[in-house]
Each structure stands twice: as structure tokens, then as C-alpha cells.
Structure 1
């Protein structure tokens, strides 16, 4: 064993797939790349996520309390990275990256047609936003593209490196 620099810990405790988070405020749509999120509860599904105060999406999410978490397949890797490397302050990311915004049913933020899962979310706990930029969101409506059942996801490994999920193994669950 060798020392692991603490700044690299996140590369090994990666919480899940890289996702796209959309917001809408006063008719302006935005999308950001996000990899810092985790499930908090199963029913209702609660997701905690970090949206930094410096992110253009932060103000819209804080004011509206609504967003969509869209899960892209690995085929969108270059788009996902491109979205993460520019700001909605400067560019219309939907136009630049050829994303198709679709109306959500319960929130004003748009779904992304190119993503195989879209989760409409409302903020239910904002107490940790000021201190940690952490929003706790309740998924209030979910969408899945049945034609893309086996889509593979991206997982951020740090410093421009990503892993693509692979083989799935199954074990008998004893959970009810």
C-alpha cells in the first residue's frame, strides 16, 4: 500500500453515472453536467446532489426548486464533456450541442430527448444549500425510453477520465 492523496479520494468513491441536469427560469433553458449525486431514499425517490454556487444552474435551481436529471448513454460522452466545459451564461447549450428539449409534465425544466432516462425533480430540502451547495430533490415523475433498455452509462474517474459501465451480474436479493 502507498499513501493516497486525499484530493483523489473522489475518484474511487464515485457515486453513480454522470448525468445532465436541466433548469428553466423565465423561459431560459439550461443544462449542466453533474456527477456528484447520490440516492438518499427509495420511496419516494430522493436524490441529493451538489450544484455549486458558481454554476449557472445554481440560481435557477435555488429560485424555482425544479430540475430534470437526465441520464445519457455512453454514446453521448463527447456531448456530456462539452456541456461540462462551458457555461450557460455564455452559450445556449441546447443549440450548441444539438439537444432536443421536450416538455416535462410536472416541472418547467425540460426533458432531454437524447437521454434514455429523465427524472422530473422538486427540491424538498434546501437546508444544506448554503453550507454545502447540496440540494435534496424528490423525483416526482420518471421517464424511460424502452427502445434503449441496455444503455451503458458514463462514470467520472477524475481529470478527464471516464469509465463506461460494463457487464451486469445478478445475485438473489433477500431485500423485500
Structure 2
């Protein structure tokens, strides 16, 4: 038996989801970042991601003007910063001062990285589509980095770094253990 969910919460059936900090630098050199959990890879070749950002977002404005941004992957250590970044506007608040995060320029683009992140993607705007109250940003990933010792053979080492996940509302969690492969996969490989 299934219970019907109010459509106001339909997207929460797709949670928990990774939450990231999208960071930009405007034409005056001001750094801003926002929390985003509506993000997904959409292509491996070329490497593309898509993220949905509110029309009211200052970060969105800067992305559309500067055409570059970083996607910073936080762990639980950045929970407070993630919360502040998702509940305040860069139009009104200097989030770097408010949170005290340390930033530096990315290696290949003119956007900043958040140093306490466990990894980050350097992205260039490829296209965008207006979708309801959001803009769907499609970006090419030009470089990807992880803190040394936290990522190997294409997966996070969860004992070293556990990406933060947004459950919904004020709730967050982390992935802190691996589950074993299903038995059906083990039989096929034998």
C-alpha cells in the first residue's frame, strides 16, 4: 500500500541527495556561494553536469554573466556553512565574512574554491534553460579535484571523507559505510 504525498514535497522522495556549495566571483571580485542539492551529472563525454538554481539567486546572476563557477563538495565539517549559504542571499550578505570560510582561486577558471571542501569541480557554463521558478544550468566540467587520500578508483573513501547529504528541510546526513554488492552480481562474476 502506498500513501499519496502532497505534490509540494514530490522532490523530497528523491532525497537524500548530495548537497554542494556552488561558488562564483563577480565582475568586482566579490566571492559568493550557495547551497545546492538539485545537481546531477548528465554526460560523461563530454563531462557535463546540470543544476537547478532559483531565478532569485545572486549566484545564478553571476554564473550567467561570468560563465564560470565551482562545485565544492562539503563534508559534515561544513554543515553550518552549508546552512548559512542556503538560507541567506549573496545580494544582502557577504557569505565569506559571515561564515569565515577560506577561499582561493581555482586552477583553471576565475571562480573560487572553498578550501575546507573534500573535493571540487571547475565548471564552464554550456547552456541554460528556464524551468519553472528555476534556471537549469548545464555546465562542462573542465577539471575535478579531491583532497589527497579521500578518493580512489573512482569512489570516495568513506572512512576518510564522507560527502554531506541533504535529507530535506533542516535535516542532513552522511554516507558513512559501503553496502556489499547484491548477491546476483556476485554470481554473474564467478
Give the structure-1-normalised TM-score: 0.89
* Aligned position for 2:176: 166
| Cα distance, 1:17–1:130 mapped onto 2, change above 3 Å | closer
| Cα distance, 1:98–1:33 mapped onto 2, change above 3 Å | same
- Please, which of 34, 54, 57 is the counterpart of residue 56 of structure 2? 54
- 8 Å contact 2:67–2:125 — kept in the other structure? yes
* Aligned position for 1:6: 7
Q: Distance in 2 between matches of 1:54 and 1:43?
A: 31
Q: Distance in 2 between matches of 1:22 and 1:84?
A: 12
Larger strand percent? 2
* Aligned position for 1:19: 20
Q: Distance in 2 between matches of 1:77 and 1:14?
A: 17
- 8 Å contact 1:15–1:37 — kept in the other structure? no
Considering only CA atoms, is the larger Rg found in Structure 1 or Structure 2? 2
Deviations 1:132-157 (A, max 9, x none): 50010111011111144431122222
Measure how far apart 1:124 and its partner are: 0.9
Q: What is the RMSD computed on CA atoms of the aligned residues?
A: 2.0
Q: Distance in 1 between matches of 2:67 and 2:80?
A: 29
| Cα distance, 1:16–1:157 mapped onto 2, change above 3 Å | closer
Give the structure-2-normalised TM-score: 0.83
Q: Which structure 2 residue ranges, 5 or more long, are not aligned?
A: 151-156
Task: Report how many aligned residue pairs link the two structures.
Answer: 173
* Aligned position for 1:151: 161
* Moved segments of 4+, more than 6 Å: none
Q: Distance in 2 between matches of 1:170 and 1:46?
A: 29
Deviations 1:78-129 (A, max 9, x none): 2211121111112211122111111112211101111011110001122x14
